[in-house]
């Protein structure tokens, strides 16, 4: 049973703790995110495909659609 993907996620900066709701892209991974408060440049944690999977309240849409947790939604070269 496939549910519609959640496109809104609250990203929380690990540097300053600031949280902001953002709309996730559905057609690409977001590998960088600049905190609007402290301007820290966030990158995915090792093993995560994007900043939403690392710091968001909801994983990215491609991961939400997978049957098995722990997969990757993007290929890196």
pLDDT at site 15: 97
Give 71's Cβ-side CA count (13 Å radius).
12
Assess whether pLDDT exceeds 90 at residue 7.
Answer: yes
**Per-residue pLDDT tens over the stretch 21-73:** 999 988 778 999 999 999 999 999 999 989 999 999 999 988 887 755 555 56
Question: To 5 degrees, how large is the angle CA 47–CA 73–CA 54?
Answer: 45
């Amino acid at each position: 049973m496939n549910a519609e993907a959640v496109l809104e996620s609250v990203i929380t900066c690990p540097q300053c703790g600031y949280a902001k709701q953002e709309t996730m892209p559905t057609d690409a991974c977001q590998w960088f995110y600049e905190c609007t408060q402290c301007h820290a440049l966030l990158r995915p944690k090792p093993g995560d495909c994007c900043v939403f999977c690392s710091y968001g309240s909801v994983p990215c849409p491609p991961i939400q659609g997978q049957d098995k947790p722990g997969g990757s939604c993007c290929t890196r070269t």
